[in-house]
Amino acid sequence: MLFAAFTIISTFIASIQIEKNQKRHIKMKKIKYLFIMLVWVILVSAQTEKRPLTHDDILNWNQITEIHISNNGKYIVYKQEPWKGDPTLKITTPKGQEKASIDCGTNAKITADSKFVVFTLKPPVDSVRTLKLKKTKKEDMPQDKLVIYNLENGSSEEIEKVKSSKVPTEWAGWVAWQAEAPKDTTQEGKGGGKGENVFPLFIKNLNAGEVKEVPNVSSYHFAEEKEVLVCISEGKDSTFNAGVYIYNFADNTETKILDGKGKFKQLTINKSGDKVAFIGDVSEAKETNYSLYVCEGTGKAKVILDNNNEAVPDKWEISENGQLSFSENGERLFYGTAPKKEPKDTTILEEEIPVLDVWHWNEEVLQTVQIHNKNRDAKKTYLGVVQLNNSKAAQLETKLFTGIRKINKGDAGKLLAWSSRPYAVQAMWEGSPRHNDFYLVDINSGKAEMIKKDCRATPQVSPGGKYLYWYNALDTTWNTYSITIGTEYKITTPDVVQVAKELNDIPNPPNSYRHAGWLKDDEALLIYDRFDIWKVDPENSYEPVNLTENGRKQKISYRLVRFNPKRDEGIDLSEEVIVKGHNEVTRVDRYYAFNLKKPKEPKEIFIENYRLNTPKKAKDEDVVIFTKEDFQTYPNLIATDLSFYKQRQISDAAPQQKEFLWGTAELVSWMSLDGRVVEGTLHKPENFDPGKKYPMIVNFYEKSSQGFRGYKMPENHRSTIDYHYYTSNGYVIFNPDVYYTEGYPGESAYNCVMPGVAAVVSKGFIDEERIGAQGHSWGGYQVAYLATRTDMFAAIESGAPVVNMFSAYGGIRWGSGLNRSFQYEHTQSRIGKTIWEAPLRYLENSPLFTLDKVETPILIMHNDDDGAVPWYQGIEYFIGLRRLGKPSWLLNYNDADHWPTKVRDKHDFQIRLAQFFDHYLKEKPMPKWMKEGIPATKKGVDLGYELKD
């Protein structure tokens, strides 16, 4: 075709010469005609040169994984990285002018003054691989570098063998890092406490270029708001004494606030940099006995609390695992305590101690959950507080509580606590939301007062500290509690605002649509219903106000976008905000200008038909970064301002996409077997020909049509098909929504999916003999169920499916230790009753008991370390199919969880999945692994990819 294009060009040039002596209008007519032919031939040529996407192509596909905007809006830093290979860090301007492109750059930070980018430079993947093949020792492998890039002049500095780095967030001019020192001065693992690494600390003045070294530092922190750094050093012979040091960069001073060696932990500094705290033990005793140290101003650190203080409970101690933190005003210091660990009996050999777990029928937490949480629970601490003006301490948290939260950033006279312990056993089958009792704890005495009993919610605190608030799932209302006057208010009711999810189809109380935040000074709470944003008075003194007005009428779901919100602070009415709207009918996203001060229909400021992300804005300037996407449009970064009028694309992360056959996406609808209008998405190959017959794969989970405008990043997925790969290779993909009826999840899937398949087939372009289905986890269950009810599918891949609801009901989710019964009674599995109340529902919804009806070849993927669905479900499935003589295969990625997570395993799975479908849906030869299997003796040696005629 390219040769044809050159021929046309030659003809075009020759024709111009011939026509020189003819009339001008005839000449122009022919030129126009030939130009059109030329364009047509070139376009056809370009199209025919496109090729199908391969799994190796997908490995090279970039995602944009870091996005930063300088405070002054002049620079944008982003990272694009392939699934396999080295990332590239890009530094550009909002006008798309690239200043730098750095291979292997990652973890970028822009300094607060917008003058420097500090990032890590990783060793190239190929270089590391080559060295590993040569059996290079770990200590001889290349290490990370730190790079300081000057945005103003483009110069950069590299620091070798960096172990950590920090950049102040609210002020600028300094950067600190730890780097490996020569082995004779590195005291790795000494002094800083078990598990800590000690390295030299380097502190650089970015403006003057000066660098100060502090030897053998175990911990260091910048103050948030002031030019101060604090660190703990183990010292270095006679040239530098061990101790805790404060560096004040504003007046260029170094202050040693504690002199001498010891065991120090939990170093912290307040926002203004004038108070430092840590725990320490300067004794040489074998058993660690921590005290709490505080330094205020420029004085020395002093012990203000030790384990002999009456505020520390009997047989408890100040814990090294507790997180020290100052209250907002700096007048209080919060710390953690914990029961002392029982000493080991040194008179008994390890081999003489029985190794067992004792399960008790009425213990609060199931033994498997206890085992799963053992390490976390061993480090659990309980909050205490000390008043810095008088060193008076109080234990605030006890074993009664399951959670505790500060009010007004620790400045209030009380704290919020809650406890689910009285209801712990029933949580095994109820799931969430959990029952809780609410408490207010006096910050001076630690005395707790229960203010609400048995509420299925977890309470929260308003930013200004005036109210507690929660969503009550049982009556679908928002509620508040005035801390000052001790009164509870029900601030919404379903007859005024439907705050509960309207499409809830699980046998459990519906979740809420959440909230947008509080207005400043706790003036009002902004909540969401399905479509609109409502302003609600916390004491119910006026009716809720619909701020967006037209959301429900227009079927647009509005959600507030805040730029650079301050942590734990309410929304200022003068704050710049926009709302993002999602139209549930067209599935289009839009940005809208919005003013919180009064109800008004949001003003549309972005009118293109795409899926949009949540935009980011520069802190000090009107520069905004956002993405727009659809099935064919990659979500590249676009720079604009708050008007969204002028847009400039600043990234081009997947330029190779134009080389490949792609596809299209569209919405389709049909009637379910139980009379409901159902929608789904249909994805067709590029150059789709309605006169041809295509193979089709049905892939679904629950409901996904609302996101059909999404790009679907090409990926060798862990558990599902890649839509772009299959459309590029000539498949049609159908993704139907499923609506569920309690007690009949399998039947619900059949009622929605099968008439949807029939509706697509009726369009005439699907080969009825070449339809496959694929799903994972809950989707894996559903396709396994469909295989027992229909022979329409020529092949099915079912990943990590539950096929026996009886055995699964009593099983364990090993990833959390939880018993699975709550899933069947109240959540996704949707049975709604116990196995004793409705055994037939468990039977009829379990594919295992009707495997004899299966007429479809089945590929199962279920891994031996699955923490969500017990691996034995996959084994039961495979053994049943094998016993019945049904063609079936089981892929087990060793030590993989609910799905393979390593790139090598995902890549392998996608190759085998494609070969499986290609054989049954495209009549390609079977690969060796399907035809002959892979003997255990050839594991890791023979992958069996080769096709066998």
Give the tens place of pLDDT for each residue, 537-547: 999 999 999 99
Q: What is the mean pLDDT of residues 225-251?
A: 94
Task: Locate 708 and state its tokens.
Answer: 């059909």
Sequence-ordered list of residues with C-beta below 8 angstroms from that of 359, at least 6 positions apart, any chain: 366, 367
pLDDT at residue 234, rounded to an integer: 93
Alpha carbon of 757 to those of 175, 686, 766: distances in Å?
60, 21, 10
Phi, psi torsion values for 850, nearest 5 degrees: -130, 30
Around Cβ 506, how many Cβ atoms within 10 Å? Answer: 19
pLDDT tens per residue, range 882-940: 999 999 999 999 999 999 999 999 999 999 999 999 999 999 999 999 999 999 999 99
- Exposed e or buried b per residue across 401-433, where buried means at least 16 C-beta atoms within 10 angstroms of its C-beta: beebebbbbbebebbbbbbbbebbeebbbbbeb
Residues 6 or more apart in contact with residue 6 via CB below 8 angstroms: none
In this prediction, residue 568 carries a pLDDT of 82
Distance (Å, whole) CA 773 – CA 595? 48
**Structure confidence at residue 17 (pLDDT):** 43
Looking at the DSSP bridge assignments, the partners of residue 525 are: 518, 536
Identify the pLDDT of residue 1.
43
How far is Cα 773 from Cα 793, in angstroms, rounded to an integer?
A: 7
pLDDT digits 0-9 by tens, 541-597: 999 999 999 999 999 999 999 998 887 889 998 888 999 999 999 999 999 999 999
- How far apart CA 386 and CA 850 sit, in angstroms, is 65
With a pLDDT cut of 90, the percent of the chain lying above it is 86
Angle at 23 between CA 22 and CA 25, to 5 degrees: 130
pLDDT of residue 544: 97
* Range 460-479 average pLDDT: 97
Which of these, 206, 207, 253, lies nearest to 229 by C-alpha position? 253
Render pLDDT for 406-418 as a digit per residue (tens, 0 to 9). Answer: 999 999 999 999 9
How many residues are recorded in the chain? Answer: 949
Q: Are 392 and 442 in contact (CB under 8 A)?
A: no
Instruction: Tell me, rounded to whole angstroms, the distance of Cα 882 from its chain centroid.
Output: 38
User: Given pLDDT bands bounded at 50, 70 and 90, which one contains residue 345?
Assistant: confident
Please give the Cα distance from 73 to 619 (Å, whole number).
8
- Name residue 546's beta-bridge partners: 534
In sequence order, the 6+-apart residues with CB closer than 8 A to the CB of 237 are: none
For the chain, how many helices (H) and strands (E)?
Answer: 17, 58
pLDDT of residue 2: 43
**Residue 948's pLDDT is what?**
82
Tokens encoding 510:
């519906």
pLDDT digits (tens, 9 = 90+) for 64-120: 999 999 999 999 999 999 999 999 999 999 999 999 999 999 999 999 999 999 999
- Give one DSSP letter per residue of 765-812, joined into a string: -EEEEEEEEEEETHHHHHHHHHHTT-S--SEEEEES----HHHHHT-E
Between 36-50, 75-89, 214-228, 286-300, the lowest mean confidence (pLDDT) is in 36-50
pLDDT confidence of 835, banded at 50, 70, 90? very high
- With a pLDDT cut of 70, the percent of the chain lying above it is 93
**What's the mean pLDDT in 146-152?**
97
Rg (CA), the chain: 32
In sequence order, the β-bridge partners of residue 229 are 222, 247
pLDDT of residue 286: 84
Residue 708: strand, helix, or coil: coil
Mean pLDDT of 660-676: 97
671-691 pLDDT, tens digit each: 999 999 999 999 999 999 999
Contacts of 460 (CB under 8 A, 6+ apart): 405, 468, 469, 470
Secondary structure letter of residue 122 according to DSSP: P
**What per-residue string of b and e applies to 874-892 under the rule 16 or more CB within 10 Å gives b?**
bbbbbebbeeeebebbbbb
DSSP state, residue 508 = S
Q: How far apart are CA 222 and CA 651, in angstroms?
A: 33
Helix (H, G, I), strand (E, B) or coil at 31: helix
- Residues in a beta bridge with 8: none
- What does the mean pLDDT of the chain come to? 92
Q: Where do we find the tokens 């950067």? A: 175
Residue 187, pLDDT > 50, answer no
| Residues 6+ away with beta carbon under 8 Å from 737 | 678, 679, 680, 700, 702, 703, 704, 705, 752
Sequential DSSP letters for 557-579: EEEEEESSPPTT-PBPTTS-EEE
CA gap 926, 939 in Å, rounded: 19
Q: What is the DSSP letter of 871?
A: H
User: How far apart are the C-alpha atoms of 937 and 945, rounded to whole Å?
Assistant: 17
Angle at 395 between CA 390 and CA 398, to 5 degrees: 170
What pLDDT was estimated at residue 20? 43
Assess whether pLDDT exceeds 80 at residue 31.
Answer: no
Q: Please, is 56 exposed, middle or buried when counting C-beta atoms within 10 Å of its C-beta (0-12, 13-18, 19+)?
A: exposed
Q: What's the confidence (pLDDT) of residue 239?
A: 87
What is the pLDDT at residue 891?
Answer: 98
Q: How far is CA 3 from CA 8, 39, 47, 516, in A?
A: 9, 14, 15, 60
If you average pLDDT over residues 450-475, what whole number do you get? 97
Closest listed residue to residue 206, CA positions, set 237, 250, 175: 175
3-state class percentages of the chain: helix first, strand second, coil last, to nearest 5: 20, 30, 45
Residue 238 burial by Cβ neighbours in a 10 Å radius (0-12, 13-18, 19+): exposed
Give the DSSP H or E segment for 751: helix 745-761
- The yes-or-no verdict on residue 13 having pLDDT over 60 is no
Backbone angles phi, psi at 433, to 5 degrees: -75, 145
Question: How large is the average pLDDT for residues 739-753?
Answer: 98
Residue 28: pLDDT over 70:
no
- Predicted model pTM: 0.91
Contact predicate 214/200, CB 8 Å: yes
pLDDT tier, 840 (very low <50, low <70, confident <90, very high otherwise) = very high
CA–CA gap between residue 309 and residue 388 (Å, rounded):
15
Contacts with 129 (C-beta within 8 Å, 6 or more apart), sequence order: none
Structure tokens at 565: 């919100």
Residue range 615-631, pLDDT digits in tens:
999 999 999 999 999 99
More confident site: 871 or 29 = 871
Lowest mean pLDDT among 43-57, 344-358, 426-440, 458-472: 43-57
What b/e readout covers 808-839, taking b as 16+ CB neighbours within 10 angstroms? bbebbbbeebbbbbbbbbbbbbbbbeebeebe
How confident is the model at residue 653, as a pLDDT? 97
Mean pLDDT (whole number) for 428-457? 96
> What pLDDT band is residue 325 in, cutting at 50, 70 and 90?
very high
Token pair recorded at residue 129: 């691989």
| Residue 186, pLDDT score | 45
Nearest residue to 515 via CA among 574, 469, 447, 584? 469
Q: What is the pLDDT of residues 424-439, one digit of tens each?
A: 999 989 988 999 999 9
Give the contacts of 942 (CB within 8 A, at least 6 positions apart): 928, 934
Q: Are 229 and 222 in contact (CB under 8 A)?
A: yes
Check pLDDT > 90 for residue 848.
yes
* Residue 232 · residue 247 · CB < 8 Å: no
Q: Are 722 and 715 in contact (CB under 8 A)?
A: yes
Task: With beta carbons less than 8 A apart as the criterion, state whether 732 and 685 touch.
Answer: yes
CA dihedral of residues 127, 132, 136, 137 (deg, nearest 10): 110
Burial class (CB in 10 A: 0-12, 13-18, 19+), 341: exposed
Task: Write down the residue that tokens 């080389």 correspond to.
Answer: 659
Residue with tokens 């799931």: 431
